[in-house]
Amino acid sequence: MRQRLAYAEVRSVGTLQFSNRLVSESVERVARERFGVDLTSHRSSTLSRESIEWADVALAMDHANLVELYAQATSKTPLLLLGDLDCGRVVPDPVGRDDATIERTFVDMAALLETLHKRLVTPMAIPHSLVIKRAVTPISGPGSPR
Bridge partners, residue 80, by sequence: 59
Q: Give the model's confidence band at 118: pLDDT under 50 very low, under 70 low, under 90 confident, else very high.
A: confident
92 vs 25: which has the higher pLDDT: 25
Q: Which residue type sits at 11?
A: R
Q: Can you say whether residue 113 is alpha, beta or left, with left for phi > 0 and alpha for psi between -120 and 50 degrees?
A: alpha
Q: Which residue type sits at 33?
A: E
User: HSE of 59 in the Cβ direction (CA atoms, 13 Å)?
Assistant: 22
17 vs 41: which has the higher pLDDT: 41
Domains of the chain (ranges, CATH numbers):
9-138 (3.40.50.2300)
C-beta of residue 12 within 8 angstroms of C-beta of residue 59:
no
What is the pLDDT of the chain when averaged over all its residues? Answer: 80
> Taking the alpha carbons of 17, 109, 5, 71 in that order, is the dihedral positive or negative?
negative
Global confidence as pTM: 0.72
Of residues 118, 122, 123, 120, the one with CA closest to residue 131: 120
> Using CA atoms, how far apart are residues 111 and 83, in angstroms rounded to an integer?
10
> Using CA atoms, how far apart are residues 5 and 18, in angstroms rounded to an integer?
27
pLDDT tens, position by position, 27-70 = 999 999 999 999 999 898 999 999 999 988 898 888 888 999 99
